[in-house]
A and B are shown apart, each in its own frame.
Chain A
Amino acid sequence: MIECQLKIKQGDFLLDVDFCAPAKGVTVVFGSSGCGKTTLLRALAGLEKSDDGFLKVGDSIWQDGKSFIPAHLRSVGYVFQESSLFNHLNVRGNLEYGARRTNESGKDFMERALDLLDIRSLLDRTTEQLSVGEKQRVAIARALAVNPDILLMDEPLSALDLKRKKEILPYLDSLHDELDIPLIYVTHSPDETSRLADHLVLLEEGSVVGSGAIDEMLTRFDLPISHGADATSLIEAKVVGHDDRFNLMYLDFSGGQFIVTDRELPLESKVRLRVSARDVSLTQELQTDTSILNIFSATVDEIVPEGRSQVMVRLKIKDVSMLSCITRKSAELLDLNPGKKVYAQIKSVALLS
């Protein structure tokens, strides 16, 4: 568990945050540029001193009214926006720099970092022999090689073009799946957020406007992310079967089963699905003469207006929340009210990992 209450004043800007993050999994700090994300991350690492605050990571207190543990004594791994490798050292030298300075035998963690980021073949290269994407992979491995209690990443993909992003994202997925330490990931990208986040901290102009589990946060109507064209729901599912005849695969989630195009993922592998609110339509009766495969029985949980002609509906498919954006007229025709049983037809699903 990470407890964080910090106040930092920089000129006119005031960062004043108070939130908790779970001890495991990815916490995304999401906000537009200038909202204080990077300052927050730097403060967590001890690179930014706050006037006032309390910071506890696991069992150790890094900052309270009396003490401030300096950056080099905090067990963090930090990945900066640009790779910032040391140019006077080669890849091995960069990785060993931190590993040599950690008390425990850093060797094992380095080995693991090498495998996770797949950089064994780059070890003897100088930093100028690396591509931008490779540099960032080495920087991530370097941060992991110190066996940190927490990994902090400051928009690690923002300096990369789309192709490089795609090159790095699978490695971030494997961090997500395999790390047993918390990862705090700062970004302004909704795509990276929905792909990686387990927990979300929404930051706006220096304050936290909301914080919680990602699936709850995305469907909370008091937050701006649950409105507009980007409104989506996330569903965790696992592969339970393949249909070779139609090249489809079956994914179980706690509310039922999805049928999607086969990606040849092994059975039991976990996948995250993203469903856009605009791709969910509602019917009163179960439609049978339709091309849509994914239809679930759902209960209306809450309805809020969305602009002048539309409404945003939060549905419950058993315990899973899902958003549906439909016209106000349809809502009236269907006589939608909280508690009403409907069928949700899902036109398209994006597989995130």
Chain B
Amino acid sequence: MLNEFDISALFITLKLASVSTLILLLLGTPLAWWLSQTRWKLKTILEAIIALPLVLPPTVLGFYLLITLGPNGPVGAMLESFGGSSIAFTFTGLVVGSVIYSMPFVVQPLQNAFSGIGRRPMEVAATLRASPLDQFFSIAVPLARSGFITATVLGFAHTVGEFGVVLMIGGNIPGETQVLSIAIYDHVEALEYGQAHWLAGGLLLLSFLMLMMVYIFNRRFSIMQSSNQ
């Protein structure tokens, strides 16, 4: 059935997806909030950059990341000059790649949810003595709940499923940077269809369950909202 490397690929994948999703939520929430509120004229440029991974071939993104983060790249060289080492072909490198690659899947649902709230509830909260930060946590976050659910599930699932970026930046080192999607590819290459079936079937089920969760949660939420009208 599954060999030792398959098991470690499973754990690396889950760890990568969890860590990336957490970082994405921490970075994406303030970014999405700011994008939903700002009247900055150049905001579309930033939005386009964030959305870029949606259309960019993953190998292109992975290639540039490898160049930047590798020992000869600007970031890699800087890390080495501080006594560190290049993060290319490491788990950290995978996380950096995943965060950039999955960014639009987290920022866009959050931004839409925040925009949908509008200014009014925040103004009401202000007249009820809530400071701007308080307004954000007590009003915007709970009202954007469906956006957070969508963002979390999409960010996680998209990280689980990525291939090109992790292959380029991680180098497919079994036990270190080999993730499930690449492990499946390796099994197919080696004509080990049995093992490929186990992994592929597992991912299929996982993806389906996660999407179900999004729809169930958001359905319940949207019903509550619409009956308000």
Binding site for B on A (CB under 8 A): 45-47, 70-74, 76-78, 80, 84, 86-88, 97-98, 101-102, 127-128, 142-143, 146
Q: How far is the CA of A127 from the CA of B225 in the complex (A)?
A: 10
Which residue of B124, B138, B224 has the most chain A CB atoms within 10 A of its CB atom?
Answer: B124
In chain B, positions 125-156 with a C-beta closer than 8 Å to chain A are: 125-132, 134-135, 138-139, 142-143, 145
Report which B residues bind A (CB closer than 8 A). Answer: 120-121, 123-132, 134-135, 138-139, 142-143, 145, 224-225, 227-228
Measured between alpha carbons, how far is A70 from B142 in the docked complex, in Å?
24
CB distance from A186 to the nearest CB of B (A): 15
| CB-based contact A98/B128 at 8 Å | yes
Closest CB in chain B relative to A76 CB, distance in Å? 6
Q: Which residues of B contact A71 (CB under 8 A)?
A: 123, 126-127
Given contacts A72-B125, A98-B127, 11 further A-B contacts (CB under 8 A): A47-B123, A47-B126, A70-B126, A74-B127, A80-B124, A87-B224, A87-B225, A97-B138, A101-B128, A101-B134, A142-B128
Contact B225 A47 (CB under 8 A): no
Residues of A within 8 A of B227 (CB): 128
CB distance from A304 to the nearest CB of B (A): 43
Are B121 and A86 in contact (CB-based, < 8 A)?
yes
Q: Would you list the 3 A-B pairs with minimal beta carbon distance, nearest first?
A: A98-B128, A78-B127, A101-B129
Contact yes or no, B143 A102, CB < 8 A: no
Partner of B128, one of A73, A88, A97: A97
When distances are taken between beta carbons in the complex, the residues of chain A under 8 Å from B142 are 88
Provide the bound-state CA to CA distance between A84 and B134, in Å: 18
User: Of A46, A70, A86, which one neighbours B139 at CB under 8 angstroms?
Assistant: A86
Residues of B with C-beta under 8 A to A84 = 120-121, 124
Using Cβ atoms and an 8 Å threshold, which residues of chain A touch B127?
Answer: 45, 47, 71-72, 74, 76-78, 98, 143
* 21 A-B contacts (beta carbon < 8 Å): A45-B127, A47-B126, A47-B127, A71-B123, A71-B127, A72-B135, A74-B127, A78-B127, A80-B124, A84-B124, A86-B139, A87-B224, A87-B225, A87-B228, A97-B125, A97-B138, A98-B127, A101-B134, A128-B224, A128-B228, A142-B128
Kindly report which residue of chain B lies nearest to residue A82, judged by CB atoms.
B120
**Contact for B129 among A47, A88, A146, CB less than 8 A:** A146
Within 8 Å by CB of A88, from B124, B135, B143, lies B143
Contacts of A73 in B (CB 8 A): 129
Closest partner residue, chain B, to A97 (CB atom)? B128
Taking a contact as CB atoms under 8 Å apart, the answer to whether A87 and B143 are in contact is yes
Nearest to B141 among chain A residues (CB) is A88
Q: Chain A residues near B121: list those with CB within 8 A.
A: 84, 86
Determine if B129 and A72 form an interchain contact, defined as CB atoms under 8 angstroms apart.
yes
Tell me the nearest residue of chain B to A127, going by C-beta: B228
User: Which chain B positions have C-beta within 8 A of A142?
Assistant: 128
Contact of A72 among B131, B143, B225 (CB under 8 A): B131
Q: Which residue of B lies closest to A99 (CB)?
A: B128
User: With a CB–CB cut-off of 8 A, which chain B residues contact A70?
Assistant: 126
Q: Which residues of B sit under 8 angstroms from A102, Cβ to Cβ? A: 129
B-chain residues with CB within 8 Å of residue A146 when the two chains form the complex? 128-129
Chain B residues whose C-beta falls within 8 Å of the C-beta of A72 in the assembled complex? 125-127, 129-132, 134-135
Cβ of B132: which chain A residues have Cβ within 8 Å of it?
72
> Given the complex, which residues of A lie within 8 Å of B124, measured CB to CB?
78, 80, 84, 86
Distance, CA A70 to CA B139, complexed state (A)? 18
- List the B side residues contacting A98 at CB < 8 Å: 127-129
List the B side residues contacting A86 at CB < 8 Å. 121, 124-125, 139, 143
- Name the residue on A nearest B118 (C-beta): A84
Nearest neighbor of A143 in chain B, beta-carbon distance? B127
Let me know if B228 and A101 touch, CB within 8 A.
no
Measured in the bound complex, the distance between the Cα atoms of B133 and A101 in whole Å is: 13
- C-alpha spacing A45/B227, complex, angstroms: 31
B126 smallest CB distance to A (angstroms): 4
Write the nearest CB–CB distance from A149 to chain B, whole angstroms.
Answer: 12
Contacts of A78 in B (CB 8 A): 124, 127
> CB-CB < 8 A to B120: which residues of A?
80, 84
Residues of B within 8 A of A128 (CB): 224, 227-228
**In the complex, what distance in Å separates the CA atom of A112 from the CA atom of B145?**
33
- How far is A84 from B125 in the complex, measured between Cα atoms in Å? 10
Q: Report the minimum CB–CB distance from B128 to chain A (whole Å).
A: 3
A157 to B186, CA, bound (A): 69
Query: How far does the alpha carbon of A77 sit from the alpha carbon of B120 in the complex, in Å?
Result: 15
How many angstroms from the CA of A84 to the CA of B142 in the assembled complex? 16
Interchain nearest-CB distance for B58 vs A (Å): 38
Contacts of A76 in B (CB 8 A): 127
Enumerate chain A residues within 8 angstroms of B123, measured Cβ to Cβ.
47, 71, 80
Q: Determine the residue in chain A with the shortest Cβ distance to B124.
A: A84
Chain B residues lying within 8 Å of A127, measured Cβ to Cβ, are 228
**CB-based nearest B residue for A148:** B127
A10 → chain B closest CB, angstroms? 14
Docked pose: A73 CA to B126 CA in angstroms: 8
Max chain B C-beta neighbours (<10 A), residue from A74, A80, A97: A97
Docked CA distance A212–B127 (Å): 27
Q: How far is the CA of A143 from the CA of B125 in the complex (A)?
A: 10
In the bound assembly, the distance between CA atoms of A88 and B140 in angstroms comes to: 10
